[in-house]
Amino acid sequence: MKKIVILGAGTSGTMMANHLVNKLPKKEWKLTIIDQYKTHYYQPGFLFLPFDIYTTKQVKKKGAKFIPKGVDYINEKIDLIVPDENKINLENGKSLIYDVLIIATGTKIAPEEIEGMNGPEWHKSIFDFYTYEGAKALRNKLREWEGGKLVVHITEMPIKCPVAPLEFAFLADSFFRNKGMRDKVEITFVTPLGGAFTKPKATKALHYLLEEKDIKEVTDFNIERVDYENNKIIDYGDTEVDYDLLVTVPTNMGDEVIERSGMGDDLNFVPTHKGTLQTLEHQNIFAIGDATNLPASKAGSVAHFEAEILTDNIMRYIQGEELKDEFDGHANCFIETGNGKALLIDFNYTHEPVEGTFPFPGVGPLSLLKESRANHMGKMAFRWIYWNMLIKGVHIPFVSATMSKKGKHIEEVQ
């Protein structure tokens, strides 16, 4: 029997297991998936948990529920990948040999990268919302917070779901308005980039949101340290921003197992071919989702589109055929703007988000780069789609893996 091993049972790994189990010849191939954690989280839900929009139960389920029959599911921590021997060492001392390896070990926050972030104030006045623990701790804080300076902050790029911090700021505005205490809260959005919006079309179409919601912007802020004793963040240019409540997105890094195995870049992301998803170093190793160094968004929708193309390429690889250089960086994301409205963006490596309709050209029902209630309903419905279709590898109707230009006001990105 030949073996395909998937490392990580998150969004990408689970999708790959579901796709491949139906396609691999069962008599010849054995499929194994390894993950140290037993819980599968709906990570987009971490945005809503702090505002009591979702409950903890809505964002987590037992991972085993989503691993199909016929797949060997190992609940164990991975100690090392040894590519030269096609071998995986587990922490319990056992090891596995693979013919084909799929790395889906994801991205983690690394607050320890910034002095003072992960100190005594962590999850007291400094929070992340990219982990279940962080989002839940922040929910408890927001339930009793009496107001002051709320700073929503991005440490450095790239980050998982790059629009989530902005969505957090929008939802915070709604949340405090609904609580009748918006006048007691000052919201500031602090980013290392040139603006909260960085692409010309989006800036033009959406900058009004910041003014409408009275969200201040501090741009080009490259954090050096958190002065948690005096409640301020300080950047390399000595700019200071005061906070009472700091909601930060810490540095995002690939898993430590990638670093231990010597397979990653500076941030532990695996160098991967952007069209085929084969790793650059090893022909029989592929990578997917936010474990890769692809210049695409580190988002579930990207992983979803990658999974369809990677499944084809794994099948081609084991049949000795040429790989398809097809992944175009396609991402399709709902962006919450508060007050029951949302935006939808659809873009890829070479095309920035533009206005238009989706998925049916000229019809919609969803509108691109424009606020609407229908988009918000789409985002809310997506949780059901995630648990019932997406990670089970069921094709989502009318949405293709590569981006469609139909029904859009397209202009090439320079």
Q: Is 347 in the site for another protein (CB under 8 A)?
A: yes
Q: Is 197 in the site for another protein (CB under 8 A)?
A: yes
74, 90, 267, 380: residue in contact with another protein (rule CB under 8 A): 267
Residue with tokens 């010597």: 262
1, 84, 146, 414: residue in contact with another protein (rule CB under 8 A): 414
- Name the residue nearer to another protein (CB basis): 136 or 298: 298
Within 241-260, which residues bind another protein (CB under 8 A)?
251
Q: Is 384 in the site for another protein (CB under 8 A)?
A: no
Q: Phi, psi (5° rounding) for residue 393?
A: 80, 20
SS3 per residue for the chain: CEEEEEECCCHHHHHHHHHHHHHCCCCCEEEEEEECCCEEECHHHHHCHHHCCCCHHHHEEEHHHHCCCCEEEEECCEEEEEHHHCEEEECCCCEEECCEEEECCCEEECHHHCECCCCCCECCCEECCCCHHHHHHHHHHHHHCCCEEEEEEECCCCCECCCHHHHHHHHHHHHHHHCCCHHHEEEEEECCCCCCCCCHHHHHHHHHHHHHCCEEEECCCCEEEEECCCCEEEECCCCEEECCEEEEECCEEECHHHHHCCCCCCCCCECECCCCCEECCCCCEEECHHHECCCCCECHHHHHHHHHHHHHHHHHHHCCCCCCCCCCCCEEEEEEEECCEEEEEEECCCCCCCCEEEEECCCEEEEECCCEHHHHHHHHHHHHHHHHHHCCCCCCCCCCCCCCCCCECCCCCC
Q: Is 410 in the site for another protein (CB under 8 A)?
A: no
25, 295, 320, 362: residue in contact with another protein (rule CB under 8 A): 295
**Both structure tokens of 158:** 């790239």
Contact 171, 47 (CB under 8 A): yes
Q: Is 156 in the site for another protein (CB under 8 A)?
A: yes
Within 214-233, which residues bind another protein (CB under 8 A)?
219-220, 222, 224
Number of residues that bind another protein (CB under 8 A): 33
- Sequence-distant (6+) residues with CB within 8 A of 321 are none
- Name the residue nearer to another protein (CB basis): 119 or 158: 158
Q: Is 193 in the site for another protein (CB under 8 A)?
A: yes
- Name the residue nearer to another protein (CB basis): 34 or 164: 164
171, 185, 206, 366: residue in contact with another protein (rule CB under 8 A): 206
Q: Is 335 in the site for another protein (CB under 8 A)?
A: yes
70, 120, 200, 262: residue in contact with another protein (rule CB under 8 A): 200
**Both structure tokens of 232:** 């301020």
Within 93-122, which residues bind another protein (CB under 8 A)?
none
Q: How far is the CB of 240 from another protein (least distance, A)?
A: 14
- Name the residue nearer to another protein (CB basis): 188 or 198: 198
Q: Is 208 in the site for another protein (CB under 8 A)?
A: no
393, 394, 395, 397: CA torsion to nearest 10: -150
Within 161-180, which residues bind another protein (CB under 8 A)?
162-163
- Name the residue nearer to another protein (CB basis): 164 or 390: 164
Q: How far is the CB of 186 from another protein (least distance, A)?
A: 23
Q: Is 56 in the site for another protein (CB under 8 A)?
A: no
Q: Is 199 in the site for another protein (CB under 8 A)?
A: yes
208, 236, 360, 384: residue in contact with another protein (rule CB under 8 A): 236
Q: How far is the CB of 315 from another protein (least distance, A)?
A: 28
Q: Is 237 in the site for another protein (CB under 8 A)?
A: yes
d(CA 252, CA 299): 13
Which range in 27-35, 88-96, 131-139, 157-165 contacts another protein by CB under 8 A?
157-165
81, 101, 138, 331: residue in contact with another protein (rule CB under 8 A): 331
Q: Is 344 in the site for another protein (CB under 8 A)?
A: no
d(CA 167, CA 77): 33
- Name the residue nearer to another protein (CB basis): 89 or 332: 332
Interface residues with another protein (CB under 8 A) are: 156-158, 162-163, 192-194, 197-200, 202, 206, 219-220, 222, 224, 236-237, 251, 266-267, 295, 297, 331, 333, 335, 345, 347, 352-353, 414
